[in-house]
Structure 1
């Protein structure tokens, strides 16, 4: 299958669901420089993503689903210069970090079935993020205060029973600033 994909150099959209999906499938991106939309689903365990230079630099929408993503994918994905929408499912690491220059064009972030103890957000990260959706965020007791550093955040959805209290100080400050919050 990889041999077939290598010949599709002009492809702009890739939608691939296989059970189980093998991590090596990501090696095909090097042969598809025009991809703007990637949807990959049904990885089992995805221990590590390839470096950001292995992804097409024109990528605008990435959907990535795995049963378990073991290593924080954000330091790699935040370097994609054109990424506007990121949908990520299955991250089960201890921390998730967003650096100050990360995700320069990201407008929508959806995190699904993830479990983290610590969520770090440096000032300057995701300057254009307007929509954040969190679905089945296990182990999350409070919103990270770094959300207050996102100047464009207008919509925050928490889609599942959560351990986060409606009295969360970050949540209250976001609402005060005009962010629409759905719990």
Structure 2
């Protein structure tokens, strides 16, 4: 990529990250382009769809969470590792407010620009869940889809102003339902 094109790409991602964090995933693409100081055509050359832009925003976060899961797989405490990763996954998902519905839909839509990133994230969590289940620390009737749904639900709860004060408490309740040991 040419230096000026790379600069525009990086600027678009930085502005999109800020605006999506502040206003949610349905932030106007026109506002993103304008704030980045580029034309709408430049934005669409780099990101032909909203999903492509969100994928670029989320991919680095998803990759970091996958690496974190790999690190936690080496932990002596399988249940604690699952809970730590779950907390980080919820926080990351919440930081891209409004993308939850797109992420959930992308799991079953192989054509979605978000599909690979979302299935990679689900696979990372599934490995931690299976490890906790094998150690007897997590209930056996759950799978990676259930875990991904709980991440989505917990991130959604944190977006609801009346529930924000209870978000940590609700997280603890959900973890208590997942884990078989205190």
**TM-score of the two chains, using structure 2 as the length reference:** 0.29
| Structure with max Cα Rg | 2
**TM-score of the two chains, using structure 1 as the length reference:** 0.29
